[in-house]
Amino acid sequence: MNMLKQTHRAFSTTLAARSLLERELYQENSVVRLILNDKKVNTLSLAMINELFAELKAIDKIEKIRSVVIAHNGKSFSAGHELKELTTESGTEKHNEIFNTCGEMMNFIRNMKVPIIAEVNGTAAAAGLQLVASCDIVVAGKSSKFLVPGQKLGLFCSTPGIALVRAVPRKVAMDMLLTAQPINSEDALRAGLVSRLVEDDQVKFEALKVAEQIGQFSRSVTALGKAFFYSQAELNTADAYRYGSRVMVGNLKLKDCQEGISAFIGKRHPEFEHSNELVEKTKKTD
């Protein structure tokens, strides 16, 4: 398998003097693994947010990319926002920039064409948990912990709670937000915050395995499916079904879809073009 072959490359055009991210490429350069690498706790400082955001925007334009893994060095996936940037001395303008930019990045992750996989092998706290909850799939090690501890500081985790309540039941989210207590990886799995739970030494391998599984399918169909999934989740059931019917009819017009159906009927492997090209209309016969 080529999933463990890696190279390093910078995607963004403007990088900080000391990059806060490490970059690895896997599976014939179709999977990007971005590694948070800022000291031990990987705070989501404004610099980290800006660099990660710029990287994700650049990646989303590369047609060859099938998925992105967000990983980390150190025991902490991310401890959340850099508290030194949240003091009165930093000023309201800086505070607005931090939370607005962070929110834009989280929303961008949801709207990206490719799936984003969080690879968690440690603690994800506050905005770090927000980042995890914003990803499409979460692979976690058994020793991982998840928390929104803002209450302890007198700063309620309001923005992290936006992503959290969209990932877990409300009662679980409120328990975490109000008590500031962590939940372990098994509780996170039961609550729906985590997709897959593995031994700590298998987290990277499992995340890349997920990426490889996604990569064998059509990029265009994956993008369509991801966009529909999040859109329909905001609708009532009746509207979701009406919208879903239109989306599926449109999906059937894609060349990659008809190639997949034809391959299944013909008992062969599909050869996807990964494009949004439509099939030509067939002429009706008398």
- Model pLDDT for residues 249-280, shown as the tens digit of each residue: 999 999 999 999 999 999 999 999 999 999 98
- Provide the pLDDT for residue 73: 96
Q: What is the mean pLDDT of the chain?
A: 93
Confidence band of 169 (pLDDT split at 50, 70, 90) = very high
All domains of the chain in start order, with CATH: 21-215 (3.90.226.10), 219-265 (1.10.12.10)
- Provide the pLDDT for residue 272: 96
pLDDT tens digits, residue range 227-246? 999 999 999 999 999 999 99
- Provide the pLDDT for residue 12: 47
* pLDDT > 90 fraction of the chain, expressed in percent and rounded: 90
- Provide the pLDDT for residue 84: 96
Across the beta sheet with 31-36, the strand order is 21-26, 31-36, 67-72, 116-120, 137-141, 196-198
- Provide the pLDDT for residue 230: 96
Confidence band of 39 (pLDDT split at 50, 70, 90) = confident
pLDDT over 60 (residue 2): no
What are the structure tokens assigned to 45, written together? 């400082």
pTM (global) more than 0.95: no
Q: What is the mean pLDDT of residues 217-224?
A: 97
pLDDT over 90 (residue 6): no
- Provide the pLDDT for residue 280: 83
3-state secondary structure string, the chain? CCCCCCECCCCCCCCCCCCCEEEEEECCCCEEEEEECCCCCCCECHHHHHHHHHHHHHHCCCCCCCEEEEEECCCEEECCECHHHHCHHHCHHHHHHHHHHHHHHHHHHHHCCCCEEEEECCEEECHHHHHHHHCCEEEEECCCEEECCHHHHCCCCHHHHHHHHCCCCHHHHHHHHHHCCCEEHHHHHHHCCCCEEECHHHHHHHHHHHHHHHHCCCHHHHHHHHHHHHHHCCCCHHHHHHHHHHHHHHHHCEHHHHHHHHHHHCCCCCCCCCCCCECCCCCCCC
- Provide the pLDDT for residue 48: 97
- Provide the pLDDT for residue 8: 47
pLDDT over 60 (residue 7): no
- Provide the pLDDT for residue 40: 83
pLDDT over 60 (residue 281): yes
